[in-house]
Each structure stands twice: as structure tokens, then as C-alpha cells.
Structure 1
Amino acid sequence: MPNRLRNRYLFTPRQKLFAGLIALVVLGVPLFYGIRAWVTPEDRSCAAGVERPQGSAECIGVNGDGYAFGVPGLAEVAGLIQRENATLKPDEYATVAVLLPLTSPDPGMRVKVLHELQGAYARQYRANHESNSETPKIRLVLANTGKGNAHWQTTVEQLKGMTDAPARLRAVTGVATSSTPIRQAVAALTGAGIAVVGTTITADDIANGPGHNLYPGLARVSPTNSDEAKALAHFGKVNAAKALLVQDTRTGDHYTDTLKAAFAASLKGAPYEPQLFTSPPDPTEEGTTANTFRQITHLICDTRAETVFFAGRHTQLRQFINALGARGCAERRFTVLTGDEGSYLGGDARLNRAALKARLTVRYASLAHPDAWRPAPGRPVPATGGSTVAYDTFVGDIARASKKPVALADGQAIIAYDAMATAVHAIRQATPDKAAYPELADVPVQWPQVKGSLRVQGASGWICLDNFGNPYNKAVPIVELAQDGTQRFVEIAWPEGRPPAESCLPPGQG
């Protein structure tokens, strides 16, 4: 009886069909979704124009719609840029991109990026609202190259595709580190006919000059490392017999390579060979160089040196200062002179500020400083090379870039503002009468005319470019790291030893 019931109710054709359908549902639905997930590409988008490359969690690309690339500290300025861009009509603007490693995890770089974006936005706003209705108006977009600029190729290719309508990209600014990826990015952009204005690139070999025009269309608003070194030498009047050089042996970093060459040139005849250290492949990492600097300070105490030139990045500079503050020869005074990477020290929480009280003076060649063009008792403003009016205009503009006061001591917002001003100047000079915007090819050929009465009145000083896009005799503020960690302006130094003439015309280079 049980067998007959089982056969009747469980093994009828209807029940077999029903059981088969249940099995198909149980096994087939997960299989269906598994196959669909396997054949459907993963959605790696972050925002319009931005996505995560394969193998990376960073959001890479170009956006001007308020996206902050996952960095909370950039949300305010990204929102301001989006708001300004939203006011523009489709046929009235040209686009400028700010190319930076927006998602860098390095604290110093994050501060730099924020200040540069604030400076760029402040100048965009002035261009669109306080320039006597000059055209075209300026649309600003953020272009992220990722940590260490590792994804520069992806972003540069995207920028190269934005030169036609609707974006009409006409210039790229930012490009703020003197590194191999940035050199490659600049070469790719200028090779595509896009004008580039570097903010804080100072390496001598990321520049054009007589006999070499590797980056046609590149302009810079910061002095080269050679000019910084010459300005420091004019300022400090260093006795080479009592000076030595501490330098990084890692090659391929164009800032460090050209800085140590410039310092070595100014120390000809010095009795001591350079003291060497090797930074990690990523110089923002701590590595083991602190141990090396502890040993180097012993060797420095064995010399008669009073001045130490330091050619390296800011992480290693901080480690060196900390070690020098704990040196054995504490009774002797030392002065450390370095390039513009010193500007990071003011915000570096790992700097031992007690070291600055141990008969140690740290000075660096800054790219800009808020006190450089403000008169003070016993320190008048130079008659040429810059102006208080231009700086005060910047102060009014930068107040729009944040609800809180923008930090200016590191000079990054000032120099980014000037780079944006230079890009806008070229775009508008290249725009024919009655035209809405310039042709792409007409913008990068403007640099030879940015001089004399056509100079850019920068907040950091006059921007008078030579025929190769390099600033001529640009003001170099010498800044001292005070004992409380603040960045104290000392005086303006000049690569040529004195301010430029009123005409601000570079001499012939024959």
C-alpha cells in the first residue's frame, strides 16, 4: 500500500515535471545570475568622465561638475567650480584643466592640491566676472592623475579628446611636480598642440630653451631650480669654503636632479665632497633615510661647514632637519638652504620644531609668499618685478574660494592663481575679434609675447616670459622656517642679482 501511494503521487508524469521545474529554479537561477555577472562588464564609473582603472581603487579622469574624487577636503572648492561652470552658456567658453594627483594620500600633497585648486578657482571667477566682459569665459575642470601621477596616460588621453566642442579645451595648468610622469604628460599634451602652464614645476629639464624645444607650447610661472639657486647665492653670499652639499642619489626625479646640479655649480671649489643619501622610490615614504641622516650629521660636525645646501624632497628634508637638531656639535650654528620643497615644512606635523631652536636656521627659495609684496618697516616693496596692487587683488579674489581663510604661507594658492591668469591671458590674446573662442593652435604660440607691457601682473610677481616660455628674472621670496614652525618671509632675491628693469624684456640669448 505505501509503495502504491508513493508511485501514484510522487512518480506520476505531472509530479516528475513539477520536480524538474523546481530543480531548474533552484539550480538555474543562481547559474543565470552567475553567467550574467561573468559576461557583464563591471561598473567602474565614479562620476561623469571619471572611473576606476582596472587594478586600481582610485577614481581617475576629468570632471567639472562638482565631483571631489572621493577626497572630502576638496568638496567645497569642487562645488564652487561646479557652480561657476553651471552659469556658462554652451557657446561662450573655453575650458582650462587643472592636472594634479588629486587622490594622493600624502598629507603634504593633499594640502598642496587643495591650495592650488583654490587659487585656480579664484582666478576663474575673476576672469568670468571682473575682467570687463572679456571673452571667452572660462570653464574649469579637475583632472586627476592619481597617486604618484601613476595614471597620467589615461587622463592625458581624455584631455586630448576634449579639444573640440562642447569642451573646447584650450589649456592645461597644474602639472605641479617635477617628476618623470609629469615630464611625459607635458610632452604628450604639448605634442598634441595643447598649451600647458606649469605651476610649481621647477626642474630645468622640463623646459624649452635654445636648441631644444621638446615641449612646444609649455610656459611656466615659477623660476627654474637654477634660478632658485642663483637667487639663494645672491641672497646668502655663501662662502663655498664653509659650505657642503647633502644630496639624494636617486635619479629620475627632475626636481632633485636639477637642484643638486645647480647647488653643485654654486659650490665650485668647496673643500668637501657631497654627503649622499638615497630616498625610497616614492619619496613621500619615510623609508630608512632617517638613519642615514643621523650618520651624516656626525660627518657634518667633523667639517668646518656653516652652510648646508640640501637637494632632496620634503620628507627627507624634514628627516634631515630633525637629525641636525639632535647633532653632537650643538654649540655650532648651521644654516640649511634648499629649494621650494621647503614650503611643505610649515604644515608637517612630524617636524621636530625644537630642532629650530638648536642654533639651526632653515631657509628656502619659495615660489610665492603673502608678505613678499607687502611693505614693512625697513623693508620697502621693490619698484619693479611685482606690485602691492596685484597682490591685493589676489587677496580679494582668494577670499571667495573658501568659507574659512585660505592658507597662503606655502605660496601654492598664489602661484596657481598666477598660472591660471597666464592661461587666461593667452586664451584671450589668441581669440580673434568677433570670435567666441580661439583655435587650439593659436594659444600655445602666445608665450613669446608675454613680456614688456604685455606681461602678466602676477600676485607672486611679474611674469615676463622669454621666447621659450620661461619666466625671466622672476622674484624669489626667501623664507625662513621660524622656531614656532611658521614660514617667515625674509626678503625677495633675484636670479639676476637685482629686480628687472621697468621694460621687463629678457636679454638676447645668442
Structure 2
Amino acid sequence: MNTPTRFDFHPPQYAKRAARDRRLRVLRNAGALVVVVLLLTGAWVGAAWWLSGCSAGMWRGVDDECVGVSDGSASLHHGLRDVEEKIERENDRIAGLDRKVVTVAVLTPVPEPGGDRGSVSLDQARSKIIGAYLAQRQANSVEGAYPLFRLVVADEGSDEQDWEEVVDELIGMTDDERPLVAVTGMGVSVGETISAAHRLADHQIPMVGAVLTADGLNMTGAVRPEDGPIRGLYRVSPSNRTEALALHEFLVKRPREYMLVRDQNFNDFYTTGLRDDFAEVFSAELAAGVQRSFDGTPGINGTTNQFNEIVAELCSPGTPDTVLYAGRASLLDAFVEKLRVEHCGKTITVVTGSDAAKLNETELPGHVEVVYAALADPKALGDARFNEYAEDYKVNFDGFRQLERIGSRDLANGWAIMEFDAMTAVVDAAQKALLNETEIGPAEVRTALVSLTSERNDIDGAGDRFHFDADTGDPVGRTIHIIHQVGLESRPVHKYTS
């Protein structure tokens, strides 16, 4: 979900294309003799991926990134290798058992190795994949588990730019011996995700989004109404509007003056939705109309200068001390850095949405505090004051995580927990589908997901229990925790149930 955290010089596109063409010419020339030998010896198998420079089964996408679908055997990023090896071992283990096996994909952007741009950070991509793996392992570890679940990771490019080819690859897997029955993850709340969801829906493949919070990014398709509904799209994350309501319920206890700082990247439905929801939910507090904008569109320069102007105004006499920040957390780092340098002579409170969970390792300056709505905060989930299922979380999820030798750091941003819940919903549906069927595919799992729309069939998530709304596919019964961060310390301060 993240936009760049650095603001170094980036070469123009024509320079990037020229450099890429030079690399490809060298690769082709170096590989020409090898190709001839391969053809002469009949050993062509594997030559295509070798020449591309990508792992087996992957290919070069539109921006020269390696993309594709991996069962753990391919390396998507060196920072994911330990997790990929765990997935590969589990997939190999169940392949040797004489039981029904089905495939579930986690569709996600993965940052380009060595790159500094992308819609998610490496930590976020890693956490999401870990969550899927933990759910796979837990489902397969139950005695007599049926079916068994094979996991694949579908890397659609750092900015989801290769979603179309990757989704088509997933569609082709529905007729495999171990058929693809559902897709989880589903990227982040951007236009490419919406297009991918429509393509999968057209082929009757059910989806459960992990961190999709944009308003209307569900079965209604209201996020982009001109494209129509997205049948079979569920999500385990509450919407932006629910986040805004939770924040307002906590903040209304103390009178404040607010400035709305909003991103104008119209392809990012997380930021545009948060902007509109803040404006509506905090309308009384924003009566003075103090609003400022910046353009956080990836590849657009000048964001730093825009933040300079906003911070200079914020530090002027008689201006608000609380900022409603409707933007990505990656750019929030830069905004906070400007506040660090400027030092307004007053404490500034920055209020924002769930993407800010990635700030957990950022030390805030002493005069800046952040209040945000968290989708799944480990501290809150393990605290009985904020979660009635705290003991279940500590034993069933956190304990299992430790057995699998997954570090607590990988839970900090909440993405592993959210993806675990998305995968668990698919597991529940697939198991229900097989109660009355001998063979299942996407259609049967999609039908079974409908049964998870009543409280009687609540899903036992990592930290709470929930079900889906039958009309929208949104979660019902989930708790949002409000987190207050000062310096490096963050703590839960409020809970709100959707």
C-alpha cells in the first residue's frame, strides 16, 4: 500500500527504458550461445525463465520486474526467502499424502528487490504472506484435515501493474489437478485491485480481501460504480468510514481544532475515501474549513515542497493543533519529518487511518503524537481490556506463531493477522463445501462462503470472531482499536465494534 519513503532523484522514464534495453541486449547476447546449445541438445526446458533472469515459473512484466505465481520454490524477493521455504516445505509435505488437495492464492504486490517504490513495503508484503502460511499450516495440521490446502503467492508487481497477466495465470489454475478454489489478499485499495477483482468475479472465483478498506470495495462495487458489482468479493477489514467513526468516537471526548490534510491521488481509493469520510464524520469540527492538499501519486515529484508549505501554515499562530491526515503512511514519514525540523512550539496530534500501523518502528519527535485506527494490533488483541477473546488470541494464534518460529516483529503492522483471517474464511468455506461434494472448485467455495453470513457460522479469526454481511461481503462484529503513539511507544486507548 505504501508509496515511496525516499525522495531521491529518479531518472525519467525514457532513461529507464534505455537502461532496461541495454540490460536486455547484454542478456540476449550472453545467452545466444547457450540457446544454440540448448536447442542442439534438446534441453530447451527451462531456457525461457533462465534467459529472463527470473526464478522458474516467473516472467518479466511490463516494468521489467519478475512477476508470476510461486508455490514457494521461486524467489520473489530475498527478504521473503525464509517464508517461501516454509511454504514450499508444507506444499511438498501434503503432496505426498493421499488426500484431497486444493490451492489457494494470496494475490499481492511485492516490492522490486533494490527498488524504492511500490504500493506496499517489504514488511507489509512479508507479513501478509506469513499470515497466509500460518493459516495454511494450522488448517493442514488438524488431524484428519480435509481438504488439505496448497498455498501459492501471486506477485502482481510492485505497483500491481502486472495484475492482468498474473490473474489470467490464476484463472488457468482452476482446472488443475489441485485446483485453485479462491484468492485471498487482493492487493490494496487502488484501481488495479478493482480491475483484478472484476476479472476474477467474471470467472466465478471467490475472493477474500485482507486489508481492503476503501468504501465500497466489496460485492457492491460501489467504489467504482460504473463497473458494476463484484460478485464473490468478501473482505475481513472494516471500511474507511468505520475507521473514521471509531476515531471520532474517541476524539470527541476532548474539544479540538482540526486541519484536514488530504492526498489528491485519485487512483488510491484508501486515501480518497479517508478524505471524504473525515470531511463528513468530522464536519462539525471542520466547520472553519481548514483543508490543505498534496499530490502523493507515485512518480510525482514535489511532495516535499507541498509538505513544507502545509507545515509552515500549521505552525502559524492561531492554527489547529490536530491534523486529520488522509494519506499513506509512507508519506506520513516525510510529513512527520517536516514537523520534526520545523518544531511548531506546540504539540501536534496527527489522526489517520489503519495504514499508519507501519509507523510502529518510527520514533516520533517529542512534540508530535499519532492517533490511528488499527485493523489488528497485537497489543490490543492480547489485552482483555480491549478484546474479550484475548486468551484465545494468545493461545490459538500467538502460541501457534511461536511454534512455527515466526517472529513477533512480523505481526506488528497487523497484516499477518488480517491475512490469516482471510485465509481462515476460505478454509472454513472449502471444508463446508466438501461436506456434500466429492470434488470442489471455485464455484462450490463461492457458494459455501454465503453460509458464513450469519452469526451462527462465525469465523474464528486470529483475535476475534466475525461473519460477513450477506449483501456487501463486509465483516460484521469486528473490533477496531484506536492506537496512540508517542515516540517509539504505542498503546491501545479505545475499542470500537463495527
Aligned with residue 50 of structure 1, among 45, 58, 70: 58
Cα RMSD of the aligned pairs, angstroms, is 2.8
Quote the offset at 1:413 in angstroms: 1.3
CA contact (8 A) 1:205 1:254 kept: no
Q: Secondary structure at the match of 1:398?
A: helix
> How do residues 105-504 of structure 1 correspond to structure 2 at under 5 angstroms?
105-106=115-116, 109-130=121-142, 132-209=143-220, 214-237=229-252, 242-269=257-284, 270-282=286-298, 287-300=301-314, 301-327=316-342, 329-330=344-345, 332-348=346-362, 353=363, 355=365, 357-358=366-367, 360-375=368-383, 380-383=385-388, 386-402=389-405, 404-433=407-436, 435=438, 437-450=439-452, 451-467=454-470, 468-483=472-487, 485-495=488-498
Quote the offset at 1:35 in angstroms: 12
Give me the whole-angstrom Cα distance separating, in 2, the residues matched to 1:417 and 1:338.
24
Describe the shift of the 1:33–1:278 C-alpha distance in structure 2 as closer, same or farther (beyond 3 A).
Answer: same
Give me the whole-angstrom Cα distance separating, in 1, the residues matched to 2:163 and 2:404.
27
Give me the whole-angstrom Cα distance separating, in 2, the residues matched to 1:232 and 1:35.
60
Quote the offset at 1:289 in angstroms: 1.7
Aligned to 1:86: 92
Quote the offset at 1:400 in angstroms: 4.4
Deviations 1:105-157 (A, max 9, x none): 34861011111111111110110012x42311100001110120111111000
Describe the shift of the 1:342–1:159 C-alpha distance in structure 2 as closer, same or farther (beyond 3 A).
Answer: same
How many residues of Structure 1 are paired with residues of Structure 2 in the alignment?
Answer: 444
Give me the whole-angstrom Cα distance separating, in 2, the residues matched to 1:340 and 1:316.
14
Describe the shift of the 1:200–1:210 C-alpha distance in structure 2 as closer, same or farther (beyond 3 A).
Answer: closer
Deviations 1:364-388 (A, max 9, x none): 111101122323xxx62444xx443
Give me the whole-angstrom Cα distance separating, in 2, the residues matched to 1:354 and 1:135.
48
CA contact (8 A) 1:247 1:274 kept: no
Give me the whole-angstrom Cα distance separating, in 2, the residues matched to 1:442 and 1:354.
49
Bigger Cα displacement from structure 2, 55-64 vs 146-155: 55-64
Larger radius of gyration: 1
Quote the offset at 1:199 in angstroms: 0.7
Describe the shift of the 1:261–1:391 C-alpha distance in structure 2 as closer, same or farther (beyond 3 A).
Answer: farther
Aligned to 2:71: 64
Q: What residue identity is the alignment partner of 1:125?
A: R
Aligned to 1:95: 103
Q: What residue identity is the alignment partner of 2:352?
A: T
Aligned to 2:24: none
Quote the offset at 1:170 in angstroms: 0.5
Structure 1 unaligned regions, length at least 5: 1-31, 496-510
CA contact (8 A) 1:197 1:419 kept: yes
Deviations 1:482-509 (A, max 9, x none): 31x24333332234xxxxxxxxxxxxxx
Instruction: State TM-score, norm by structure 2.
Output: 0.82
Describe the shift of the 1:45–1:62 C-alpha distance in structure 2 as closer, same or farther (beyond 3 A).
Answer: farther
Give me the whole-angstrom Cα distance separating, in 2, the residues matched to 1:244 and 1:473.
31
Describe the shift of the 1:125–1:209 C-alpha distance in structure 2 as closer, same or farther (beyond 3 A).
Answer: same
Q: What residue identity is the alignment partner of 1:88?
A: I
Q: Secondary structure at the match of 2:94?
A: coil
Give me the whole-angstrom Cα distance separating, in 2, the residues matched to 1:406 and 1:249.
32
Quote the offset at 1:314 in angstroms: 1.4
Give me the whole-angstrom Cα distance separating, in 2, the residues matched to 1:35 and 1:395.
50
Structure 2 unaligned regions, length at least 5: 1-31
CA contact (8 A) 2:364 2:486 kept: no
Give me the whole-angstrom Cα distance separating, in 2, the residues matched to 1:205 and 1:49.
35
Give me the whole-angstrom Cα distance separating, in 1, the residues matched to 2:181 and 2:288.
49
Bigger Cα displacement from structure 2, 398-407 vs 294-303: 398-407
Give me the whole-angstrom Cα distance separating, in 1, the residues matched to 2:297 and 2:149.
38
Bigger Cα displacement from structure 2, 145-154 vs 201-210: 201-210
Give me the whole-angstrom Cα distance separating, in 1, the residues matched to 2:356 and 2:33.
56
Quote the offset at 1:354 in angstroms: 5.3
Deviations 1:435-470 (A, max 9, x none): 2x4232121233343231211121242222111210
Bigger Cα displacement from structure 2, 103-112 vs 74-83: 103-112
Describe the shift of the 1:292–1:267 C-alpha distance in structure 2 as closer, same or farther (beyond 3 A).
Answer: same
Q: Secondary structure at the match of 1:493?
A: strand
Instruction: State TM-score, norm by structure 1.
Output: 0.80
